[in-house]
Amino acid sequence: MKNILVTGGTGYIGSHTVVELINAGYNPIIVDNLSNSKIQVLDRIKTITGVDVKFYKLDCTKYDEFEEVFKNEKIDAVIHFAGLKAVGESCQKPLLYYENNVGSAIVLLNLMKKYDVKNVIFSSSATVYGEPKSVPFYEYFEVNHATNPYGETKIMIERIMQDFTKVNKGFKAILLRYFNPIGAHKSGLIGEEPVGIPNNLMPYITQVAIGKLEYLRVFGNDYDTVDGTGVRDYIHVVDLALGHVASLAKFSNDFSWIAYNLGTGKGTSVLELVNAFEKANNIKIPYKIVERRPGDIAISYANADKAKKDLGWSTKYNIIDCCKDSWNFQNKNPDGIK
């Protein structure tokens, strides 16, 4: 196994995974339509790794365009990151999300079948668990309802991949359910670049830290948690990237599909993350407690034992590392990657 097709490879998690694939001796080939990332990411990857990664600018929902890649390249496995991910936008534009996310997965599987590419890793999410009755979340928990169309696309694609691999002998899908990725590559050259005002907590904090936003709004302090604020499992994006590299070895086993949680197994509240950021970077983050955000759950964190046992993977970075690296990227790129 050598050549890995990485869809969405110029995006936040994709770019970090491409770097770790190169570090591990793989040959990644990137496909991205640049709808939520920049071409300059390729230069940054080259600066970090010394490698000029092969890149195709195309839309994965367009069968004919995407087929060119399968005609030109010998592909051993695909890591499918390409997708739209803004929860709020998915409620406003559900068709766009179903068309882009579910559509691109179906086109991909059709091409994999035609060109006999048998291995795929899919970017799923903790959101597929909805609001379970207990924590931590285990892979065997029911996957039934998400709270928004974005989450529904993840559930649908998981099902499609399961149905496909069950009847197509030799095809294998690894469904990776990410918890909350934060942090950035140590170099500060690649990281998360939200468009407009960030929805997610860490990019909001870093924009307050750099003075672009005045204060953080903490969405509710009356949850049944350690300090009343929401609890999540924040995982360093480099650890997450390494989870993909570790998963590739699993393809030598016999299975049709398998799901893994990629998280640290630890919950951190909003105020704990704010405190960790202040301590790690010596910067004060002003905040105000406001109403709960509709659709939020109180607590989400992983049981990540299955990935540890099966893949030999576990996280290396702690929350202070995450806070330092997120800030380093924001500070080095105040106006984004140029």
Smallest gap from residue 15 Cβ to ligand NAD (A): 8
Of 61 and 153, which CB lies nearer to ligand UFG in the complex structure? 153
User: Is 234 designated active site?
Assistant: no
Tell me which of 147, 200, 275, 318 binds ligand UFG, using CB under 6 A.
200
Q: What single string gives the DSSP state of each residue in 267-280?
A: -EEHHHHHHHHHHH
Q: What single string gives the DSSP state of each residue in 118-152?
A: -EEEEEEEGGGG-S-SSSSB-TTS-----SSHHHH
Tell me which of 115, 141, 219, 251 binds ligand UFG, using CB under 6 A.
219
Number of residues that bind ligand NAD (CB under 6 A): 28
Q: Residue 93 touches which of ligand UFG, ligand NAD, none (CB < 5 to 8 A by kind)?
A: none
The amino acid at 243: G
Contacts with 105 (C-beta within 8 Å, 6 or more apart), sequence order:
80, 122, 157, 160, 161
**CA 235 to CA 284: how far, in whole Å?**
23
Tell me which of 70, 81, 129, 277 binds ligand NAD, using CB under 6 A.
81
Choosing from 12, 26, 129, 150, the catalytic residue is 150
Segment near ligand NAD (CB under 6 A); pick from 10-18, 110-118, 308-316, 321-329: 10-18
**CA 36 to CA 296: how far, in whole Å?**
24
Q: Do 221 and 228 meet the contact criterion of CB atoms below 8 Å apart?
A: yes
Nearest residue to ligand UFG, by Cβ distance, number only: 230
Segment near ligand NAD (CB under 6 A); pick from 53-61, 244-252, 279-287, 308-316: 53-61
Of 82, 128, 73, 133, nearest to 105 (Cα)? 82
Q: Where are the alpha helices (DSSP H) in the chain?
A: 12-23, 41-49, 63-72, 87-92, 94-97, 103-114, 149-167, 201-209, 237-248, 270-281, 305-311, 319-332
Tell me which of 15, 180, 247, 261 binds ligand UFG, using CB under 6 A.
180
Q: Residue 119 touches which of ligand NAD, ligand UFG, none (CB < 5 to 8 A by kind)?
A: none
Contacts with 151 (C-beta within 8 Å, 6 or more apart), sequence order:
87, 125, 127, 128, 130
The amino acid at 69: V
Q: Are strands 119-125 and 257-262 parallel, antiparallel or unpaired?
A: unpaired
Tell me which of 4, 5, 6, 12 binds ligand NAD, using CB under 6 A.
12
Instruction: Say whether residue 83 binds ligand NAD (CB under 6 A).
Output: yes
Q: Residue 232 touches which of ligand UFG, ligand NAD, none (CB < 5 to 8 A by kind)?
A: ligand UFG
Site string for ligand UFG, 285-324 (x = CB under 6 A): --------x--x----------------------------
Inter-helix orientation angle 12-23/237-248, to 10° = 60
Q: What share of the chain is helix, strand, coil (3-state, %, to 5)?
A: 40, 20, 40
Smallest gap from residue 111 Cβ to ligand NAD (A): 13
Site string for ligand UFG, 105-134 (x = CB under 6 A): --------------------xxx-------
Residues found near ligand UFG in the complex (CB under 6 A): 85, 87, 125-127, 178-180, 199-201, 204, 216-219, 230, 232, 270, 293, 296
Interface with ligand NAD (CB under 6 A)? 7-8, 10-14, 32-37, 59-61, 81-85, 100, 104, 123, 125, 178, 180-181
Q: Which residues are known to be catalytic?
A: 150
